[in-house]
Structure 1
Amino acid sequence: MTVRKLHAPSRWRLAAGLLAGLSLGACTTRTDVTGSISSSDVRERHPIVLRDAPRSLDVFVGRAGGSLDARQSEDVVSFAREFRHSGRGGLVAQVPTGSGREMAAHDTLNGIRRALARGGVAPGALSVRTYPVADPGLASPIRLTFASLQAGLPHSCGQWTEDAGVSDFKRDMSNEPMWNFGCSNQATLAAQVADPIDLVRSRAEGRADIVKRMNAIGKLREGKDPSTQYRQETPQINSAVGGR
Protein backbone atom coordinates (compact mmCIF):
# COMPACT_ATOMS: atom_id res chain seq x y z
CA MET A 1 0.00 0.00 0.00
CA THR A 2 1.42 3.30 -1.06
CA VAL A 3 0.91 6.29 1.23
CA ARG A 4 0.89 9.61 -0.53
CA LYS A 5 2.17 12.64 1.30
CA LEU A 6 0.11 15.78 1.20
CA HIS A 7 1.76 18.99 0.24
CA ALA A 8 1.39 22.06 2.48
CA PRO A 9 -1.46 23.66 0.46
CA SER A 10 -3.35 20.38 0.46
CA ARG A 11 -2.96 19.99 4.22
CA TRP A 12 -4.30 23.49 4.77
CA ARG A 13 -7.31 22.80 2.53
CA LEU A 14 -8.03 19.56 4.43
CA ALA A 15 -7.86 21.32 7.82
CA ALA A 16 -10.18 24.08 6.61
CA GLY A 17 -12.66 21.46 5.36
CA LEU A 18 -12.66 19.67 8.72
CA LEU A 19 -13.27 22.93 10.60
CA ALA A 20 -16.14 23.81 8.28
CA GLY A 21 -17.67 20.36 8.82
CA LEU A 22 -17.44 20.72 12.60
CA SER A 23 -19.09 24.14 12.50
CA LEU A 24 -21.94 22.80 10.37
CA GLY A 25 -22.35 19.84 12.69
CA ALA A 26 -22.74 22.20 15.66
CA CYS A 27 -25.51 24.07 13.86
CA THR A 28 -27.53 20.87 13.35
CA THR A 29 -28.21 20.65 17.11
CA ARG A 30 -30.66 23.55 16.86
CA THR A 31 -34.32 22.72 16.38
CA ASP A 32 -35.71 23.90 13.08
CA VAL A 33 -39.07 25.66 13.24
CA THR A 34 -41.12 26.02 10.10
CA GLY A 35 -42.88 29.23 9.24
CA SER A 36 -46.33 27.70 9.88
CA ILE A 37 -45.58 26.88 13.55
CA SER A 38 -45.43 29.67 16.09
CA SER A 39 -42.41 29.79 18.34
CA SER A 40 -44.41 31.80 20.90
CA ASP A 41 -46.94 29.72 22.81
CA VAL A 42 -50.19 31.31 23.97
CA ARG A 43 -49.47 30.13 27.52
CA GLU A 44 -46.25 32.13 27.45
CA ARG A 45 -47.87 35.29 26.12
CA HIS A 46 -50.92 35.05 28.39
CA PRO A 47 -50.02 32.94 31.44
CA ILE A 48 -52.63 32.17 34.10
CA VAL A 49 -51.39 33.36 37.49
CA LEU A 50 -52.75 32.93 41.02
CA ARG A 51 -53.08 35.86 43.37
CA ASP A 52 -55.03 37.03 46.39
CA ALA A 53 -57.83 39.30 45.20
CA PRO A 54 -60.96 40.71 46.85
CA ARG A 55 -64.44 39.26 46.32
CA SER A 56 -67.28 41.66 46.99
CA LEU A 57 -71.06 41.64 47.29
CA ASP A 58 -73.17 44.81 47.35
CA VAL A 59 -76.27 44.63 49.55
CA PHE A 60 -78.56 47.56 48.81
CA VAL A 61 -80.20 49.42 51.66
CA GLY A 62 -83.97 49.78 51.47
CA ARG A 63 -85.60 53.14 52.13
CA ALA A 64 -87.87 51.76 54.84
CA GLY A 65 -85.18 49.60 56.41
CA GLY A 66 -86.29 46.29 57.83
CA SER A 67 -84.87 42.86 57.01
CA LEU A 68 -83.43 41.77 53.69
CA ASP A 69 -85.67 40.67 50.88
CA ALA A 70 -85.60 37.05 49.69
CA ARG A 71 -83.18 37.73 46.81
CA GLN A 72 -80.58 39.59 48.84
CA SER A 73 -80.89 37.18 51.75
CA GLU A 74 -80.03 34.22 49.50
CA ASP A 75 -77.17 36.20 47.97
CA VAL A 76 -75.65 36.81 51.40
CA VAL A 77 -76.06 33.16 52.42
CA SER A 78 -74.30 32.03 49.21
CA PHE A 79 -71.58 34.64 49.78
CA ALA A 80 -71.09 33.32 53.33
CA ARG A 81 -70.61 29.77 52.05
CA GLU A 82 -68.08 30.99 49.51
CA PHE A 83 -66.24 32.81 52.30
CA ARG A 84 -66.09 29.62 54.36
CA HIS A 85 -64.77 27.66 51.39
CA SER A 86 -62.12 30.00 49.99
CA GLY A 87 -61.93 33.07 52.23
CA ARG A 88 -58.62 34.24 53.62
CA GLY A 89 -58.63 36.48 56.65
CA GLY A 90 -61.78 38.17 57.86
CA LEU A 91 -65.01 39.43 56.33
CA VAL A 92 -65.48 43.21 56.11
CA ALA A 93 -68.76 45.13 55.84
CA GLN A 94 -68.48 48.74 54.61
CA VAL A 95 -71.55 50.69 55.76
CA PRO A 96 -72.45 54.04 54.13
CA THR A 97 -72.72 57.18 56.29
CA GLY A 98 -74.06 60.61 55.44
CA SER A 99 -76.95 59.47 53.27
CA GLY A 100 -79.66 60.30 55.79
CA ARG A 101 -80.70 56.65 56.05
CA GLU A 102 -78.53 55.48 58.92
CA MET A 103 -81.41 53.62 60.60
CA ALA A 104 -82.22 51.74 57.39
CA ALA A 105 -78.53 50.86 56.98
CA HIS A 106 -78.47 49.61 60.58
CA ASP A 107 -81.50 47.36 59.93
CA THR A 108 -79.92 46.06 56.71
CA LEU A 109 -76.69 45.29 58.55
CA ASN A 110 -78.62 43.26 61.14
CA GLY A 111 -80.27 41.33 58.33
CA ILE A 112 -76.83 40.67 56.85
CA ARG A 113 -75.62 39.29 60.17
CA ARG A 114 -78.57 36.88 60.34
CA ALA A 115 -78.00 35.73 56.76
CA LEU A 116 -74.29 35.21 57.42
CA ALA A 117 -75.15 33.11 60.46
CA ARG A 118 -77.39 30.90 58.28
CA GLY A 119 -74.45 30.49 55.94
CA GLY A 120 -72.25 29.25 58.77
CA VAL A 121 -70.18 32.39 59.43
CA ALA A 122 -69.43 33.10 63.08
CA PRO A 123 -70.43 36.57 64.34
CA GLY A 124 -66.85 37.43 65.27
CA ALA A 125 -65.66 36.99 61.66
CA LEU A 126 -67.42 40.17 60.50
CA SER A 127 -65.81 43.57 61.03
CA VAL A 128 -67.75 46.76 60.27
CA ARG A 129 -66.31 49.90 58.68
CA THR A 130 -67.88 53.03 57.27
CA TYR A 131 -67.43 55.10 54.12
CA PRO A 132 -68.81 58.56 53.25
CA VAL A 133 -71.53 58.84 50.64
CA ALA A 134 -70.62 61.17 47.78
CA ASP A 135 -74.12 61.54 46.30
CA PRO A 136 -77.13 60.87 48.59
CA GLY A 137 -79.34 60.60 45.53
CA LEU A 138 -77.62 57.42 44.36
CA ALA A 139 -77.91 53.96 45.86
CA SER A 140 -75.29 53.41 48.57
CA PRO A 141 -75.01 49.69 49.34
CA ILE A 142 -73.34 47.85 52.18
CA ARG A 143 -70.35 46.15 50.58
CA LEU A 144 -69.19 42.78 51.91
CA THR A 145 -65.59 41.93 51.02
CA PHE A 146 -63.12 39.14 51.70
CA ALA A 147 -59.83 38.08 50.13
CA SER A 148 -59.50 34.78 48.28
CA LEU A 149 -57.11 33.00 45.95
CA GLN A 150 -58.15 33.71 42.36
CA ALA A 151 -56.88 32.76 38.93
CA GLY A 152 -56.46 35.37 36.23
CA LEU A 153 -54.12 36.98 33.73
CA PRO A 154 -51.42 39.48 34.69
CA HIS A 155 -52.70 41.88 32.02
CA SER A 156 -55.91 42.83 30.26
CA CYS A 157 -56.96 41.54 26.86
CA GLY A 158 -57.67 43.61 23.77
CA GLN A 159 -54.20 45.09 23.46
CA TRP A 160 -53.24 45.28 19.79
CA THR A 161 -49.61 46.30 20.02
CA GLU A 162 -48.92 45.56 16.36
CA ASP A 163 -50.54 46.59 13.12
CA ALA A 164 -52.85 43.85 11.82
CA GLY A 165 -52.54 45.17 8.29
CA VAL A 166 -49.65 44.99 5.82
CA SER A 167 -47.51 47.86 7.05
CA ASP A 168 -44.66 45.64 8.27
CA PHE A 169 -43.53 43.21 5.57
CA LYS A 170 -41.13 41.34 7.87
CA ARG A 171 -43.85 40.87 10.48
CA ASP A 172 -46.39 39.72 7.92
CA MET A 173 -44.07 37.17 6.33
CA SER A 174 -43.13 35.62 9.69
CA ASN A 175 -46.56 33.95 9.88
CA GLU A 176 -46.69 34.53 13.65
CA PRO A 177 -49.99 35.02 15.52
CA MET A 178 -50.89 38.44 16.86
CA TRP A 179 -49.98 39.09 20.49
CA ASN A 180 -53.63 39.32 21.57
CA PHE A 181 -54.47 35.94 20.04
CA GLY A 182 -55.63 33.48 22.73
CA CYS A 183 -55.92 36.07 25.50
CA SER A 184 -59.71 35.79 25.85
CA ASN A 185 -59.54 31.98 25.92
CA GLN A 186 -57.01 32.03 28.76
CA ALA A 187 -59.04 34.62 30.70
CA THR A 188 -62.25 32.60 30.30
CA LEU A 189 -60.52 29.42 31.43
CA ALA A 190 -59.18 31.17 34.53
CA ALA A 191 -62.65 32.55 35.36
CA GLN A 192 -64.32 29.15 35.03
CA VAL A 193 -62.03 27.27 37.42
CA ALA A 194 -63.87 26.58 40.67
CA ASP A 195 -60.70 26.02 42.69
CA PRO A 196 -57.60 27.84 41.37
CA ILE A 197 -55.31 25.35 43.11
CA ASP A 198 -56.42 22.76 40.54
CA LEU A 199 -54.31 24.66 38.00
CA VAL A 200 -51.21 24.04 40.12
CA ARG A 201 -51.60 20.45 41.29
CA SER A 202 -54.05 17.58 41.10
CA ARG A 203 -56.28 16.50 43.95
CA ALA A 204 -55.65 13.49 46.14
CA GLU A 205 -57.35 10.27 45.13
CA GLY A 206 -60.50 9.36 47.00
CA ARG A 207 -61.36 6.05 48.57
CA ALA A 208 -62.03 3.15 46.23
CA ASP A 209 -65.53 1.71 45.88
CA ILE A 210 -65.05 -1.55 47.81
CA VAL A 211 -68.52 -2.90 46.96
CA LYS A 212 -68.02 -2.45 43.23
CA ARG A 213 -64.53 -3.92 43.39
CA MET A 214 -65.70 -7.04 45.27
CA ASN A 215 -68.57 -7.53 42.82
CA ALA A 216 -66.10 -7.43 39.91
CA ILE A 217 -63.78 -9.91 41.65
CA GLY A 218 -66.74 -12.22 42.35
CA LYS A 219 -67.75 -12.19 38.68
CA LEU A 220 -64.17 -13.00 37.63
CA ARG A 221 -64.13 -15.98 39.98
CA GLU A 222 -67.38 -17.24 38.46
CA GLY A 223 -66.04 -16.81 34.94
CA LYS A 224 -68.41 -13.93 34.13
CA ASP A 225 -67.77 -10.63 32.40
CA PRO A 226 -66.99 -8.04 35.13
CA SER A 227 -67.79 -5.05 32.94
CA THR A 228 -70.89 -2.97 33.63
CA GLN A 229 -73.75 -3.52 31.24
CA TYR A 230 -75.80 -0.37 30.65
CA ARG A 231 -79.25 -0.63 29.16
CA GLN A 232 -79.86 1.86 26.40
CA GLU A 233 -83.30 2.32 24.96
CA THR A 234 -83.42 3.75 21.45
CA PRO A 235 -86.74 5.40 20.59
CA GLN A 236 -88.39 4.29 17.40
CA ILE A 237 -88.93 7.46 15.38
CA ASN A 238 -91.08 5.72 12.77
CA SER A 239 -93.54 4.42 15.33
CA ALA A 240 -93.69 7.79 17.06
CA VAL A 241 -94.64 9.70 13.91
CA GLY A 242 -96.96 7.08 12.43
CA GLY A 243 -94.48 4.84 10.59
CA ARG A 244 -95.11 6.19 7.08
Structure 2
Amino acid sequence: MKTAPARSHFPLPWRLALMAAATGLLAAGCASKGPETVASAPIDVRERHPIVLRDAPRSLDVFVGRSGKALDPRQRGDVIAFAQEFRRSGRGGLVAEVPTGARRELATHDTLGGIRSALAQGGVSPALLSVRTYPVQDPLLASPIRLTFASLQAQLPHECGQWPQDLGSSDFKFSASNEQYWNFGCSQQATLAAQVADPIDLVRPREEGRPDIVKRMNAIAKIRQGQDPSTQYRATTPQINSSVGGGT
Protein backbone atom coordinates (compact mmCIF):
# COMPACT_ATOMS: atom_id res chain seq x y z
CA MET A 1 0.00 0.00 0.00
CA LYS A 2 1.54 3.29 -1.09
CA THR A 3 1.74 6.21 1.32
CA ALA A 4 0.61 9.58 0.06
CA PRO A 5 3.36 12.24 0.02
CA ALA A 6 3.33 14.68 2.92
CA ARG A 7 1.93 18.01 2.10
CA SER A 8 3.64 21.27 3.12
CA HIS A 9 1.89 23.47 5.62
CA PHE A 10 2.85 26.57 3.54
CA PRO A 11 0.86 27.60 0.49
CA LEU A 12 2.51 27.57 -2.92
CA PRO A 13 3.19 31.35 -3.14
CA TRP A 14 4.95 31.24 0.22
CA ARG A 15 7.09 28.28 -0.82
CA LEU A 16 8.19 30.14 -3.95
CA ALA A 17 9.11 33.20 -1.90
CA LEU A 18 11.18 31.07 0.51
CA MET A 19 13.00 29.40 -2.36
CA ALA A 20 13.82 32.78 -3.90
CA ALA A 21 15.16 34.09 -0.58
CA ALA A 22 17.32 30.98 -0.08
CA THR A 23 18.74 31.36 -3.59
CA GLY A 24 19.58 34.98 -2.87
CA LEU A 25 21.42 34.07 0.33
CA LEU A 26 23.48 31.44 -1.47
CA ALA A 27 24.38 33.90 -4.20
CA ALA A 28 25.36 36.52 -1.64
CA GLY A 29 27.58 34.02 0.16
CA CYS A 30 29.40 33.02 -3.00
CA ALA A 31 29.87 36.58 -4.22
CA SER A 32 33.15 38.36 -3.52
CA LYS A 33 33.37 41.00 -0.85
CA GLY A 34 32.99 44.59 -1.93
CA PRO A 35 35.62 47.29 -1.40
CA GLU A 36 36.30 48.08 2.21
CA THR A 37 35.77 51.53 3.59
CA VAL A 38 39.01 53.52 3.44
CA ALA A 39 39.69 56.33 5.88
CA SER A 40 39.98 59.84 4.52
CA ALA A 41 43.54 60.07 5.85
CA PRO A 42 46.11 57.42 6.85
CA ILE A 43 45.76 56.50 10.50
CA ASP A 44 49.51 56.17 11.09
CA VAL A 45 51.22 59.54 11.54
CA ARG A 46 54.33 58.23 9.78
CA GLU A 47 52.26 57.51 6.67
CA ARG A 48 50.32 60.76 6.77
CA HIS A 49 53.42 62.90 7.41
CA PRO A 50 56.38 60.83 6.20
CA ILE A 51 59.96 62.02 6.64
CA VAL A 52 61.77 62.11 3.30
CA LEU A 53 65.36 62.86 2.31
CA ARG A 54 66.06 65.53 -0.25
CA ASP A 55 68.79 67.93 -1.36
CA ALA A 56 67.84 71.27 0.15
CA PRO A 57 69.74 74.56 0.46
CA ARG A 58 71.44 75.49 3.72
CA SER A 59 72.21 79.19 4.11
CA LEU A 60 74.08 81.58 6.37
CA ASP A 61 73.59 85.36 6.30
CA VAL A 62 76.76 87.37 6.94
CA PHE A 63 75.96 91.01 7.60
CA VAL A 64 78.26 93.66 6.21
CA GLY A 65 80.39 95.36 8.83
CA ARG A 66 82.07 98.74 8.88
CA SER A 67 84.56 99.71 6.23
CA GLY A 68 88.02 98.44 7.01
CA LYS A 69 86.74 95.65 9.22
CA ALA A 70 86.12 92.32 7.53
CA LEU A 71 84.26 90.21 10.10
CA ASP A 72 83.63 90.49 13.80
CA PRO A 73 84.57 87.48 15.98
CA ARG A 74 80.98 86.21 16.11
CA GLN A 75 80.52 86.18 12.33
CA ARG A 76 83.97 84.76 11.73
CA GLY A 77 83.17 81.83 13.98
CA ASP A 78 79.85 81.32 12.18
CA VAL A 79 81.56 81.19 8.79
CA ILE A 80 84.20 78.74 10.06
CA ALA A 81 81.48 76.43 11.43
CA PHE A 82 79.56 76.81 8.15
CA ALA A 83 82.66 75.79 6.22
CA GLN A 84 83.13 72.70 8.39
CA GLU A 85 79.51 71.73 7.83
CA PHE A 86 80.03 72.18 4.08
CA ARG A 87 82.93 69.76 4.23
CA ARG A 88 80.83 67.15 6.04
CA SER A 89 77.57 67.26 4.09
CA GLY A 90 77.93 69.74 1.23
CA ARG A 91 76.99 68.77 -2.30
CA GLY A 92 78.28 70.76 -5.23
CA GLY A 93 79.81 74.19 -4.72
CA LEU A 94 79.45 77.06 -2.31
CA VAL A 95 77.71 80.25 -3.48
CA ALA A 96 77.95 83.75 -2.05
CA GLU A 97 75.16 86.17 -3.01
CA VAL A 98 76.49 89.73 -2.69
CA PRO A 99 74.12 92.74 -2.61
CA THR A 100 74.53 95.37 -5.32
CA GLY A 101 73.48 98.97 -5.09
CA ALA A 102 74.21 99.21 -1.38
CA ARG A 103 75.73 102.33 0.07
CA ARG A 104 78.71 100.56 1.63
CA GLU A 105 80.21 98.78 -1.35
CA LEU A 106 83.72 99.07 0.08
CA ALA A 107 82.60 97.45 3.34
CA THR A 108 80.90 94.70 1.31
CA HIS A 109 84.20 94.01 -0.45
CA ASP A 110 86.02 93.82 2.89
CA THR A 111 83.39 91.45 4.32
CA LEU A 112 83.71 89.18 1.28
CA GLY A 113 87.45 89.06 1.82
CA GLY A 114 86.92 88.14 5.44
CA ILE A 115 84.55 85.36 4.37
CA ARG A 116 87.20 83.88 2.08
CA SER A 117 89.73 83.96 4.92
CA ALA A 118 87.30 82.29 7.35
CA LEU A 119 86.44 79.62 4.79
CA ALA A 120 90.12 78.80 4.37
CA GLN A 121 90.46 78.55 8.15
CA GLY A 122 87.50 76.12 8.14
CA GLY A 123 89.20 73.89 5.58
CA VAL A 124 87.40 75.09 2.43
CA SER A 125 89.41 76.48 -0.45
CA PRO A 126 88.28 80.00 -1.48
CA ALA A 127 88.40 78.77 -5.08
CA LEU A 128 85.22 76.76 -4.41
CA LEU A 129 83.30 79.96 -3.66
CA SER A 130 81.19 81.31 -6.52
CA VAL A 131 80.09 84.93 -6.20
CA ARG A 132 76.74 86.16 -7.46
CA THR A 133 74.87 89.42 -7.00
CA TYR A 134 71.33 90.36 -6.11
CA PRO A 135 69.67 93.79 -6.19
CA VAL A 136 68.93 95.60 -2.96
CA GLN A 137 65.24 96.41 -2.63
CA ASP A 138 65.50 98.84 0.30
CA PRO A 139 68.85 100.57 0.92
CA LEU A 140 67.81 101.40 4.48
CA LEU A 141 67.59 97.74 5.44
CA ALA A 142 70.55 95.50 6.19
CA SER A 143 71.67 93.59 3.08
CA PRO A 144 73.70 90.55 4.08
CA ILE A 145 75.99 88.35 2.05
CA ARG A 146 74.23 84.99 1.87
CA LEU A 147 76.31 81.82 1.78
CA THR A 148 74.47 78.79 0.41
CA PHE A 149 75.23 75.18 -0.37
CA ALA A 150 73.08 72.11 -1.00
CA SER A 151 73.03 69.24 1.49
CA LEU A 152 71.04 66.11 2.16
CA GLN A 153 68.34 66.98 4.70
CA ALA A 154 65.42 65.23 6.35
CA GLN A 155 62.17 67.08 5.75
CA LEU A 156 58.46 66.59 5.29
CA PRO A 157 57.08 66.53 1.72
CA HIS A 158 54.49 69.18 2.65
CA GLU A 159 53.95 72.10 4.97
CA CYS A 160 52.21 71.76 8.32
CA GLY A 161 49.07 73.67 9.15
CA GLN A 162 46.74 72.09 6.59
CA TRP A 163 43.12 71.65 7.69
CA PRO A 164 41.17 69.86 4.93
CA GLN A 165 38.39 68.91 7.37
CA ASP A 166 36.34 71.08 9.64
CA LEU A 167 36.97 70.06 13.24
CA GLY A 168 33.67 71.54 14.34
CA SER A 169 30.22 70.02 14.20
CA SER A 170 29.54 71.03 10.59
CA ASP A 171 30.94 67.75 9.21
CA PHE A 172 29.00 65.13 11.18
CA LYS A 173 30.47 62.20 9.24
CA PHE A 174 34.05 63.16 10.09
CA SER A 175 33.18 64.05 13.69
CA ALA A 176 31.47 60.70 14.26
CA SER A 177 34.32 58.71 12.67
CA ASN A 178 36.62 59.33 15.66
CA GLU A 179 39.64 59.61 13.34
CA GLN A 180 42.72 61.78 13.64
CA TYR A 181 42.61 65.09 11.85
CA TRP A 182 45.09 65.65 9.03
CA ASN A 183 47.46 68.04 10.80
CA PHE A 184 47.78 65.77 13.86
CA GLY A 185 51.44 64.83 14.40
CA CYS A 186 52.80 67.05 11.61
CA SER A 187 54.81 69.34 13.89
CA GLN A 188 56.18 66.34 15.77
CA GLN A 189 57.45 64.73 12.57
CA ALA A 190 58.91 68.04 11.35
CA THR A 191 60.73 68.56 14.65
CA LEU A 192 62.10 65.01 14.58
CA ALA A 193 63.39 65.54 11.03
CA ALA A 194 65.08 68.82 12.03
CA GLN A 195 66.83 67.22 15.02
CA VAL A 196 68.45 64.38 13.09
CA ALA A 197 72.19 64.98 12.96
CA ASP A 198 72.76 62.68 9.97
CA PRO A 199 69.74 62.03 7.70
CA ILE A 200 71.29 58.72 6.62
CA ASP A 201 70.48 57.37 10.10
CA LEU A 202 66.81 57.35 9.08
CA VAL A 203 67.61 55.00 6.18
CA ARG A 204 70.08 52.54 7.70
CA PRO A 205 71.77 52.04 11.07
CA ARG A 206 75.39 52.80 11.77
CA GLU A 207 78.06 50.12 12.02
CA GLU A 208 78.84 48.71 15.43
CA GLY A 209 81.84 50.14 17.17
CA ARG A 210 84.80 48.18 18.48
CA PRO A 211 84.03 46.11 21.59
CA ASP A 212 85.65 46.84 24.94
CA ILE A 213 88.14 43.97 25.18
CA VAL A 214 89.19 44.74 28.77
CA LYS A 215 85.62 44.74 30.05
CA ARG A 216 84.83 41.54 28.15
CA MET A 217 87.85 39.69 29.54
CA ASN A 218 87.01 40.80 33.09
CA ALA A 219 83.47 39.44 32.68
CA ILE A 220 84.79 36.11 31.34
CA ALA A 221 87.21 35.86 34.28
CA LYS A 222 84.34 36.39 36.76
CA ILE A 223 82.29 33.68 35.05
CA ARG A 224 85.18 31.23 35.33
CA GLN A 225 85.42 31.97 39.03
CA GLY A 226 81.68 31.50 39.52
CA GLN A 227 81.07 35.17 40.20
CA ASP A 228 78.36 37.49 38.92
CA PRO A 229 79.73 39.25 35.80
CA SER A 230 77.22 42.09 35.91
CA THR A 231 78.34 45.58 36.86
CA GLN A 232 77.76 46.51 40.49
CA TYR A 233 76.92 50.17 40.95
CA ARG A 234 77.43 51.57 44.42
CA ALA A 235 74.67 53.77 45.76
CA THR A 236 76.15 55.93 48.50
CA THR A 237 74.13 58.31 50.62
CA PRO A 238 75.67 61.80 50.74
CA GLN A 239 76.86 62.73 54.19
CA ILE A 240 75.67 66.13 55.38
CA ASN A 241 77.82 67.96 57.84
CA SER A 242 76.13 68.32 61.18
CA SER A 243 77.03 72.00 61.27
CA VAL A 244 74.87 72.66 58.21
CA GLY A 245 71.26 73.26 59.14
CA GLY A 246 71.84 72.77 62.84
CA GLY A 247 71.16 69.75 64.96
CA THR A 248 68.49 68.80 67.42
Work out whether 1:103 is the aligned partner of 2:103: no
What one-letter code is carried by the residue in structure 1 that aligns with 2:177?
Answer: S
Which residue does 1:87 correspond to in 2? Answer: 90
Structure 1 residue aligned with 2:124: 121
- Give 1:121 deviation, angstroms: 1.2
Aligned length: 231
Deviation at 1:44? 1.7
CA contact (8 A) 1:68 1:111 kept: yes
- SS of the residue corresponding to residue 47 of structure 1 reads coil
Name the structure 1 match of 2:9. Answer: none
Are positions 1:140 and 2:156 aligned together? no
Q: 1:103 to 1:12 in 2, by over 3 A?
A: closer
Supply the distance in 2 between the matched residues of 1:52 and 1:16 (Cα, whole angstroms): 59
Q: In structure 2, the residue corresponding to 1:65 is in which secondary structure?
A: coil
Q: 1:22 and 1:97 mapped to 2: Cα distance?
A: 77
Structure 2 unaligned spans of 5+: 1-15
* Distance apart, 1:154 and its partner CA: 1.3
Runs (4 or more) in structure 1 with deviation over 4 Å come to 9-23, 30-33, 236-244
Picking from 232, 235, 238, the partner of 2:235 is 232
* Cα gap change, 1:169 to 1:237, in 2 (>3 Å): farther
Q: Within 1, Cα distance between the matches of 2:80 and 2:176?
A: 56
> 3-state SS of the aligned residue for 2:108?
helix
1:183-237 CA-to-partner distances (Å, cap 9, x unmatched) read: 1111111111111111111111122122222222222223332222223333367
Instruction: Give the 3 Å change call, closer, same or farther, for CA 39–108 of structure 1 in structure 2.
Output: closer
Where in structure 2 are the equivalents of 1:72-221 lying within 5 Å? Answer: 72-221=75-224
Give 1:47's aligned residue: 50
**1:65–1:105: 8 Å Cα contact kept in structure 2?**
no
**Aligned residues of 1:91 and 1:127 also touching (Cα < 8 A):** yes
Q: What do residues 127-171 of structure 1 show as CA deviations (whole Å, max 9, x unaligned)?
A: 222222222222111111000011111111112221111012111
The separation in 1 between residues aligned to 2:36 and 2:241, in whole angstroms, is 59
| 2-structure distance, mates of 1:128, 1:13 | 83
Gap change, CA 1:238 and 1:22, over 3 Å in 2: farther
How far apart are the structure 2 equivalents of 1:14 and 1:133?
A: 83
**Structure with larger Rg:** 2
TM-score w.r.t. the length of structure 2 is 0.80
TM-superposed deviation, 1:238:
10
State the alpha-carbon separation in 2 of the partners of residues 31 and 233 from structure 1.
62
Alpha-carbon distance in structure 2 between the residues aligned to 1:106 and 1:212: 58
Tell me the residue number matched to 1:3. none
Give the 3 Å change call, closer, same or farther, for CA 231–115 of structure 1 in structure 2.
Answer: farther
Q: Which amino acid aligns with 1:233?
A: T
Q: What TM-score do you get using the length of structure 1 for normalisation?
A: 0.81
The gaps in structure 1 that reach 5 residues or longer are: 1-8
Percent of aligned positions with the same letter in both sequences? 70
Measured in 2, the distance between the counterparts of 1:110 and 1:218 equals 62
SS in 2 for 1:43: helix
Query: Cα gap change, 1:41/1:235 in structure 2, threshold over 3 Å: closer, same or farther?
Result: same
CA deviation vs aligned residue, 1:92-136 (integer Å, no higher than 9, x gap): 111222213222111111111121122111222222222222222
